Amino acid sequence: MSRNIGILRLSHRHFRDQRITTHVALIARAFGCTTFTYTGEMDKEMEKSINDIIDRWGGTFEVQHLTSYRSYIKNFKGKIIHFSMYGEDHRKTIADVKKISEDEDLLLIVGGAKVPPEIYELSHFNTAIGFQPHSEIGAIAIFLSDFLGTDILYQSFSGSKISLENNTKANRSIIRQQEIKDDA
């Protein structure tokens, strides 16, 4: 992938959203996204759990807390795609994004408790993964799967300490035992 795809997660709440925000980051990383920014409450525990995964499983993925989304979005060089059930059919968004240069970076924005109306204005696309309310993890996963395909999910990342290529049940358990030994 020549372009970088980043995620902006809005309005993170330490206790309520920790697992959801972590899982948004992990699914984005699994699809090869390279940056994960979030607003709301700074959460060093959540950042650590994502960074621990990067340390073991490799890849380039930067996690950063932002005090304000506004300047980050305004200075972003690339196309901004905000996820909302009030947006357009994501299949149209994907068709339109495929028409722009493959070198142009993308920023995918998912909301939290409340999405400020200006996010709709600041974004180039407001995209709906169906017109029903569901989840930020589901929205990111379906969009990236439809946009990028799923081959990347079966690749290892550079710097990975663990590889699950061509594994069977048997050697998966050997790798798991190795992990446990490394942790000891």
Residue that has been written with the tokens 């993890």 in this structure:
137
Q: Does 50 bind ligand SAM (CB under 6 A)?
A: no
Taking CA atoms, 63 is separated from 21, 38, 80, 109, 129, in Å, by 11, 8, 18, 15, 25
Counting contacts by CB under 6 A, is residue 113 touching ligand SAM?
Answer: yes
25 close to 50: Cβ distance less than 8 angstroms: yes
142 interacts with ligand SAM by CB under 6 A? no
Verify binding: residue 128, ligand SAM, rule CB under 6 A.
yes
Q: Report residue 31 as tokens.
A: 């699809």
Give 47 or 136: the residue with its C-beta nearer to ligand SAM.
136
Q: Which residues pair with 12 in a beta bridge?
A: 40
Q: Which stretch binds ligand SAM (CB under 6 A): 47-55, 56-64, 127-135, 156-164?
A: 127-135
Asked if 83 is part of the footprint of ligand SAM (rule: CB under 6 A), the reply reads yes
Residue 110 interacts with ligand SAM (CB under 6 A): yes or no: yes
CA distance 85 to 7: 18
Q: Distance between CA atoms of 155 and 46, rounded to whole angstroms?
A: 25
Least separation in angstroms between residue 3's CB and ligand SAM is 21
Q: Which residue in the set 28, 50, 139, 144 belongs to the binding site for ligand SAM (CB under 6 A)?
A: 139
Give 72's contacts (C-beta < 8 A, 6+ positions apart): 8, 37, 66
Give the residue nearest to ligand SAM (CB).
111
**d(C-alpha 61, C-alpha 180), whole Å:** 24
Residue 55 sits at the vertex; the CA angle it makes with 80 and 154, to the nearest 5 degrees, is: 65
Q: How far is the CB of 118 from ligand SAM (least distance, A)?
A: 14
49 binds ligand SAM (CB under 6 A): no
Stretch that binds ligand SAM, among 50-58, 60-68, 95-103, 105-113 (CB under 6 A): 105-113
Q: Which residues bind ligand SAM (CB under 6 A)?
A: 83-85, 110-113, 115, 128-130, 132-136, 139
